[in-house]
Chains A and B, each alone.
Chain A
Amino acid sequence: GAVVSQHPSWVICKSGTSVKIECRSLDFQATTMFWYRQFPKQSLMLMATSNEGSKATYEQGVEKDKFLINHASLTLSTLTVTSAHPEDSSFYICSASGGARYNEQFFGPGTRLTVL
């Protein structure tokens, strides 16, 4: 149980384009989803927290207009990187929590974004 998927697993795009990353909880209802980014050999940095049906809460320094988060259902959250630039290249990981094990976060496999 507690499986989280992400799509795509990797994406390469040109500078200036937008990229959407999906995060799905496959076998439980995720009342809360988290989006992280991770640079090589560094820790996971929380970008935002989203609760189903409400606006995401962004961490300090994260541009909400650049990183659009939507959590429209209890099983799906999306992160859209708008007008991507090379410095946005990173490993983006979502996690989900909910149900009886609401204290635990279950991570998706991550999405490697490369912006040329």
Chain B
Amino acid sequence: QQPVQSPQAVILREGEDAVINCSSSKALYSVHWYRQKHGEAPVFLMILLKGGEQKGHEKISASFNEKKQQSSLYLTASQLSYSGTYFCGTDSGGYQKVTFGIGTKLQVIP
């Protein structure tokens, strides 16, 4: 079942922060975050495995609440290059079969 992402779209000014949420109706083994720019393939950001993991990548970090079956992606001090569609992908079985959410379109403006 497809995870639910929110918000569906967000516009930020450079330097502002944003949070993208991803929730699943199933127990999760892992959560994957990707960013896709228009006409390009998704680019891997990070993966979070079960156990309340948190990770960071420059000014982009994420958390995984296994009990709530939720993950959040945090973008701080956004840059123009952060624009794109962010997808969360969830794996419920641990067999690398990832189901992607519908995506959150993020636009950073000067």
Q: Report which A residues bind B (CB closer than 8 A).
A: 32, 34, 42-46, 49, 93, 97, 102-110
Which B residues contact A (CB, under 8 angstroms)? 2, 30, 32, 34, 40-44, 47, 49, 87, 89, 96-103
**Chain B hits for A102, CB < 8 A:** 96
Partner of B41, one of A32, A49, A108: A108
Q: Which of A44, A46, A49, A97 contacts B42 (CB 8 A)?
A: A44
The distance from the CB of B35 to the nearest CB of chain A, in whole angstroms, is 11
Q: In the complex, what distance in Å separates the CA atom of A49 from the CA atom of B100?
A: 15
Inside 8 A of A105's CB, which chain B residues have their CB? 32, 44, 96, 98
CB distance from B39 to the nearest CB of A (A): 8
Known A-B contacts: A42-B102, A103-B96. Give 12 more (CB < 8 A).
Answer: A34-B96, A43-B87, A43-B102, A43-B103, A44-B87, A44-B89, A45-B100, A46-B97, A93-B42, A104-B32, A107-B34, A109-B41
